[in-house]
Amino acid sequence: MNSPRHRQRSKARRHRSSRAAADNPQPPEPEIALQIRQVWDLPTRLSHWAIVTLLLIQLMSSQFPLLPTTWHLWAGYLLLLVVLFRTGWGLVGSDSARFGPMLSSLRGLPAYLPLLFSNRPTHWPGHNPVGALSSLLLLALLLISCVSGLFVETWAEYRGPLAERVSRSTSLWLADLHSVIRWPIYGLVLIHIGAVSGYLLFKGEDRIGPIFGNGRIAVRPGNDLQQQSTRRAMVVLTLCLALLLTIVVFGPIA
């Protein structure tokens, strides 16, 4: 057995070592230096601005009598063009705009959800799992809304260019769908606004300025995102415009 004197010596050594550690603390682990990278390309930012503007026009020309009804029709055509472009750009565009990485990020959704309640910024390059889920849902709902509007037939002066291509009952069903689907769209928009505002206020992470500015975000090293050329975006836009013009010009039955 250890003698009392031996135990006292061991206690004294532990006391000296703990005091030395307190006098000479270990330096904290260095924080990873962030790098400013181009995340959101110009086509993605422009499509984002266009969707926001056109949704406001749609709201003010349907829910509130602030704009003529004709604005709802033409804004719907433009919104369909933007949604078609964003869908195409999600297939062949820059890494931050592609659907592949967005769908892949959904696998990390369970692990990411607790981070929503932390005030620590994540510096996620592009869409985080929650942002990817909401963006994909919103784009899908916008596409359904725009396409269903092409088949809407009402007793008013204006109707969709493809209304005569389907039966009356189908047209009325699509009109109901077009009217109802706006509410989940508005809900997702409000959630999106609340999320980016919360990131700015509680996490100190600005996700609003870059999408309306130059698209550059502070990210962790090693998160290099490939950017596609504006020429490719123009090709996608031209194809989408040709499809829209085909629907509008050749859709109605003469």
Say what the pLDDT of residue 166 is.
Answer: 92
Beta bridge pairs of residue 35: 219
Q: Where do the structural domains in the chain lie, given as residue ranges? A: 42-250
Q: What distance in Å separates the CA atoms of residue 127 and residue 39, rounded to the nearest whole number?
A: 10
CA torsion through residues 120, 126, 129, 134, sign? positive
Say what the pLDDT of residue 103 is.
Answer: 93
Say what the pLDDT of residue 32 is.
Answer: 60
Say what the pLDDT of residue 157 is.
Answer: 61
Q: Per the structure block, which two tokens stand in for 141?
A: 């709902």
Residues with Cβ < 8 Å from 231, sequence gap 6 or more? none
Say what the pLDDT of residue 90 is.
Answer: 96
pTM of the predicted protein model: 0.82
Tell me which residues of the chain have a pLDDT lower than 70.
1-32, 154-158, 222-223, 254
Say what the pLDDT of residue 217 is.
Answer: 83
pLDDT digits (tens, 9 = 90+) for 208-232: 888 888 888 877 776 677 889 999 9
CATH of domain 42-250: 1.20.950
> Which DSSP string do the residues of the chain spell out, in sequence order?
---HHHHHHHHHHHHHHHHHHHHSPPPPPPPPPPEEEE-S-HHHHHHHHHHHHHHHHHHHHHTSTTS-HHHHHHHHHHHHHHHHHHHHHHHHS-GGG-HHHHHHHGGGHHHHGGGGGSSS----SS--HHHHHHHHHHHHHHHHHHHHHTT---SSS---TTGGGS-HHHHHHHHHHHHHTHHHHHHHHHHHHHHHHHIIIII---SSHHHHTT-EEEE-TT-------HHHHHHHHHHHHHHHHHHHHHSS--
Say what the pLDDT of residue 20 is.
Answer: 45
Quickly tell me which residue has 């003469």 as its tokens: 254
Contact 99, 136 (CB under 8 A): yes
Say what the pLDDT of residue 125 is.
Answer: 80
Q: What distance in Å separates the CA atoms of residue 109 and residue 105, rounded to the nearest whole number?
A: 7
Residue 77 has a CB neighbour count (10 Å cut-off) of: 18
Q: What distance in Å separates the CA atoms of residue 203 and residue 53, rounded to the nearest whole number?
A: 27
Say what the pLDDT of residue 208 is.
Answer: 83
Say what the pLDDT of residue 254 is.
Answer: 63
Say what the pLDDT of residue 213 is.
Answer: 85
Say what the pLDDT of residue 24 is.
Answer: 46
Torsion angle in degrees (nearest 10) through CA of 76, 77, 81, 83:
20
Torsion angle in degrees (nearest 10) through CA of 218, 224, 230, 234:
-110
Q: What distance in Å separates the CA atoms of residue 227 and residue 216, rounded to the nearest whole number?
A: 12
Q: What distance in Å separates the CA atoms of residue 44 and residue 37, rounded to the nearest whole number?
A: 15
Say what the pLDDT of residue 8 is.
Answer: 56
